[in-house]
Chain A
Amino acid sequence: MATRTATEPSTRLVVDVWADVLCPWCYIGEHRLEAAIAQSPHADRIDVSVRTFEINPHASSAVVPTLEFLTAKHGVSAAQGRAMEQRMAGLAAAEGLPFAIDRPAGNTGDMLRLIHLGAEHGRAWEYLRAMQAEVFRGDYRAFGHATLIRLGEELGIPSGEIRDVLGSDRYAAAVRADHAEALELGARGVPFTVLGKRLGIPGAVSTGEYAAAIEQAWEQVNG
């Protein structure tokens, strides 16, 4: 899999993935998509482009336990909320993914803006996945600037640029534009995946279904 670079449309396939960091279905779906791309005979000619989709732009900047949100938002008991999360954790475990039920939730605006910075360095996908790894393993420092800077630096993104983004509203317009484009394309949630600007996949599907869609899109674009 390649990150988005200058491409020759006749010999490559661009896969646009709209996602938010906290979205468990994005976390699982991206993993399945990665597996599907790895299986593809065209893997080295597939470019994945992360598109941000802020599920809840008005979320509090406070970092709270995910279960706390679940019980408050949906009026379920703590036991019911934990049972729901355990089902989701089971799905993640089947993919070999860490999934802490007692994980943090918060506003993802800064994270999504940094993903746009990551895109300028060709590391948007890796930055998104690194942020999700911190969140879903239950690290409450995942939203902290120190963590976001460290993750970016590990990917070769200059810390000064990360600090500049965190200290400004840089890329906020890009986050809004990505969101608007997804809605225009028919997205009603995330993940939302568009292959070759021809095929759209709302929600997460199985690895096999991602693989089939990749081959179908490849034929349409390059066949």
Chain B
Amino acid sequence: MADAATTTDPPLYLITAEAEGYCDPETGACALPGGTDQGEADQVAPATPTTDR
């Protein structure tokens, strides 16, 4: 359920198994829960646009 992750003292434990979704800074996208009646794979939804100022 938990993974040791950081340099905090005592170490921080990351609870990962139950995460339902998050927004990814690398892609600017937000993972949606995978699977529908049509059997879709994981999808993404927008976080922010990526064009330069």
Interface SS of B by simple majority: loop
Chain B residues bordering chain A, tally (CB within 8 A): 39
Give Cα A60 to B7, complex, Å: 35
| CB-defined contacts of B43 to chain A, threshold 8 Å | 84, 87
Give Cα A54 to B48, complex, Å: 10
Nearest CB in chain B: distance from A83 CB, A:
9
Interface SS of A by simple majority: mixed
| CB-defined contacts of B23 to chain A, threshold 8 Å | 20, 23-26, 55, 189-191
Chain A residues bordering chain B, tally (CB within 8 A): 55
Where the two chains meet, the residues of A that have a C-beta atom closer than 8 Å to any C-beta of B are: 20, 22-26, 28, 53-56, 58-62, 64, 66-70, 72-74, 84-85, 87-88, 91, 105-108, 184-186, 188-192, 194, 197-206, 209, 213
Q: List 20 A-B contacts (CB under 8 A).
A: A24-B47, A25-B23, A25-B31, A58-B50, A59-B50, A59-B53, A62-B49, A62-B51, A64-B49, A69-B50, A84-B32, A87-B43, A107-B48, A184-B6, A185-B6, A188-B22, A188-B24, A189-B23, A203-B21, A203-B31
